[in-house]
Amino acid sequence: MKKKDDAKTMKKIDKSDMLALLTSFPAQCRKAKEIGERFSIGADYFSGCSGILFTGLGGSAIGADLIRSYLADEMPVPIFVNRNYTLPAFVSEKTLVIASSYSGNTEETVSAYKDARARGARMIAITSGGEIAAMASSDGIPLVTIPGGLPPRCALGYSFFPNLILISKLGLIPDQGQKIDAAIRMLERLRDTKVGPEVGKGANVAQAIARKLHGKFPVVYGGQDRIDSVVVRWRGQLAENSKAIASSHIFPEMNHNEIVGWQNPKDLMKKLIVVLLRDRGDHPRTAKRMDITKRLIENEGAKVLEVASAGESILERVFSLICIGDFVSYYLAILYGVDPTPVDRVTYLKKELAKV
């Protein structure tokens, strides 16, 4: 198929123009950085606190997951990510709770916000509006306002970079400005040379991966060190964009249970394909485990596809894998002939919940 025919097919299927959101992601990240830099808060706001808890769901929570993974070796205090109506018992006035809801109306996050207020927790809210913004304004809670109108999963720049900068302003980590700029430049290069729609089929890494996943059941694996949240992102994007069920697990934990399951049912093995996310920062023993596991899985008749991170810094490498995965999920949606933007079953579920 010629390039112009590919473009015509994508435009016909992608009625909501998800592609525009993916290609403009570096620009979103740059704007998100500006929002974070403009937000005014001092290190004294964290005084007396012993940890940070993000509370959110879906696209609003994955940014927090990535922050937790990215800062695992730098943070002097723990970071937790909560995906529920209520908060863990340890949350108190010594906990900084960051309520993250892109729409501002996520019912679980609204409930958790109220729980945090009742416990006297220190709080910050990040949202585009809705009930969270209204409560934060009424309660005098610091509010990071981000642009609305996007599918939450497409607003990752807004759920990650302002929060990362916020943590640096609280004095918990060094300034991240230069690292963020380098990561954005890397995203632009990756888009323009490896995964974007202007890259020819022979050189387009994301299209090649999507073709291999088409008609298969993807199983996404990666290492615990910083890549664990990227694995979650890949699985979520395959589900929401490609409308494709996928599974995931993390090394080394999967070597203590799931690896044994790669035997049955026998007729399923050839329908499975493993996407193994690899990073040069993987623990050496974890990398060795991946090598051995790959051989075991291939011996069962399943395919293993390795995807390596790109870039110099940890931040660049993490976002390179995110970028590749996002475009893979888009091209897979096109192969399945489904519009990647609508999430009809999520919408249906919310409508049903509203009835009770």
* Domain-embedded: residue 271: yes
Residue 62, classed as helix, strand or coil, is: helix
In the structure encoding, which two tokens stand for residue 299, read together? 């011996």
Residue 1 has pLDDT above 50, yes or no: no
Question: In angstroms, how far is CA 266 from the centroid of its own chain?
Answer: 33
| pLDDT at residue number 2 | 55
Could you give the number of structural domains in the chain? 2
Q: Which of 131, 130, 123, 135 is nearest to 148 (CA)?
A: 130
Which residue out of 33, 169, 188, 240 is catalytically annotated? 240
* Per-residue pLDDT, 293: 98
| 9 and 61 fall within a common domain | no
CATH number for position 299: 3.40.50.10490
What is the reported pLDDT for 251? 98
Q: What is the pLDDT of residues 78-93, one digit of tens each?
A: 999 999 999 999 999 9
Same domain (yes/no): 114, 33: yes
To the query of whether residue 249 is one of the catalytic residues in this protein, the response is no
Least confident of 1-10, 66-75, 271-280: 1-10
pLDDT in tens, 105-154: 999 999 999 999 999 999 999 999 999 999 999 999 999 999 999 999 99
Residue 223 β-bridge partners: 251
The residue from 135, 150, 175 where one domain ends is 175
Phi, psi of 127 (to 5 degrees): -165, 165
Shared domain check, 31 and 123: yes
Q: What is the mean pLDDT of the chain?
A: 96
To the nearest whole percent, how much of the chain has pLDDT over 90?
A: 95
Q: What is the pLDDT of residues 175-232, one digit of tens each?
A: 999 999 999 999 999 999 999 999 988 899 999 999 999 999 999 999 999 999 999 9
Find the domain containing 310 and state its range: 3-14+190-336
Give the range among 4-8, 18-22, 246-250, 310-314 with minimum mean pLDDT: 4-8
The pTM is what? 0.96
The CA distance from 68 to 64, in Å, is 6
Do 56 and 126 have their domain in common?
Answer: yes
- Mean pLDDT value across residues 257-267: 96
Residues 73 and 143 in one domain: yes
Quote the tokens at residue 239.
Answer: 């589900």
Could you say which of 256, 266, 351, 355 is catalytic? 256
What is the reported pLDDT for 5?
Answer: 57
Same domain as 327, residue 210:
yes
* 103 part of a folded domain: yes
The catalytically annotated residue of 11, 94, 271, 350 is 350
Q: Examine the residue annotation and report whether 350 is marked as an active-site residue of this protein.
A: yes
Q: Residues 266-289: what's their mean pLDDT?
A: 96
207 plus 275 within the same structural domain: yes
Q: What does each C-alpha distance from 153 to 11, 13, 190, 254, 278 come to in angstroms? A: 20, 19, 20, 26, 23
Whether residue 182 lies inside any domain: the answer is no
